[in-house]
Amino acid sequence: MNEAGMNESCSVAPVITIDGPGGSGKGTIAQMIASALGWNLLDSGALYRVTALAARNHGVDMANPDALGVLAQHLDVQFLALESGGIKVVLEGEDVSNEIRTEEIGLMASRVATLPAVRDGLFERQKAFKDYPGLVADGRDMGTVVFVEAELKIYLTASAQERAERRFKQLQAKGMDAKLPQLLEAIESRDWQDMNRAIAPLKPADDAVEIDSTAMSIDDVYNAIIAEAKKRKMIK
Ligand code: DC
């Protein structure tokens, strides 16, 4: 399926940003929309996760902002589009798609993401994803900092309890051991860190459409975003 129908009057590639807390479903939704429209996809969280993993692999001190900034700027990372619609993340020639998804790396990513040197180091790399026929970008500051010009900005939330339960079910389905109270605690602590940092904190852009997905299905969220894009004549 390809629902894309570029607005002819667009002189630059259109952008849909989807920001929100961890586990709100923005990654899944961004992937669905990008693949339905045939647009490019930026999973900006993966860049912070890869930075954290590279720091661990190379023994870079988590208390050394300058070294982490240099690391972020020179990351040897590739995002390869898969036929399934997903993305393979390759760091220094190694497939790290699964390794970067652990709670431990998520928390480390949230820590390195508080550093201006790291955010600056990743800024241009994120901007470079904006290309024809369009871009769907998900993260924490896509609509507030990186793509302020985006035609459609979504702020996707869900209660912390709901997000922890979704994660719990995902891990159980993969046969992995998980405890709901610990997952809830990790989610709340990452929320706090992402929302209270000095630079580019997680918050809705002034012109964002807010969607609370707590009681919505993935398809409901997808349809709501597509309807907003059509309303703005970004797609037909
Ligand atoms: O979306 P995610 O869970 O993969 O993101 C991991 C961490 O990266 C998140 O806790 C905060 C950071 N991040 C960020 O600061 N800015 C972004 N645009 C995306 C992620």
The answer as to whether 97 is a domain residue is yes
pLDDT tens-digit series, residues 203-213: 999 999 999 99
Does residue 39 line the site of ligand 1, with CB under 6 A? no
Structural domain including 19 reads 15-229
The answer as to whether 94 is a domain residue is yes
Q: What does the buried/exposed string (b/e) look like for 10-19 if buried means 16 or more CB atoms within 10 Å of the residue's CB?
A: eeeebbbbbb
Q: Which residue has the tokens 């890869």?
A: 50
Inter-residue contact 75 to 54 (CB < 8 Å): yes
pLDDT tens-digit series, residues 119-167: 999 999 999 999 999 999 999 999 999 999 999 999 999 999 999 999 9
Chain centroid to Cα 100, Å, comes to 13
The answer as to whether 43 is a domain residue is yes
Nearest CA to ligand 1 atom 2: 45
The C-alpha atoms of residue 50 and residue 32 are separated, in whole angstroms, by 22
The answer as to whether 3 is a domain residue is no
C-alpha distances (whole Å) from 4 to each of 21, 36, 68, 228 are 28, 7, 39, 14
Backbone angles phi, psi at 212, to 5 degrees: -100, 110
Average pLDDT of the chain?
A: 93
The answer as to whether 1 is a domain residue is no
Ligand 1 pocket: which of 48, 114, 163 to mutate (most atoms within 8 A of CB):
48
* CA 139–ligand 1 middle distance (angstroms): 6
CATH of the domain at 103: 3.40.50.300
| Residues of the chain by 3-state class (helix, strand, coil), percent to 5 | 45, 15, 40
- Provide the CB-side half-sphere exposure for 83 (13 A, CA): 0
pLDDT tens-digit series, residues 48-104: 999 999 999 999 999 999 999 999 999 999 999 888 878 999 999 999 999 999 889
Report the number of distinct structural domains present in the chain.
1
The answer as to whether 10 is a domain residue is no
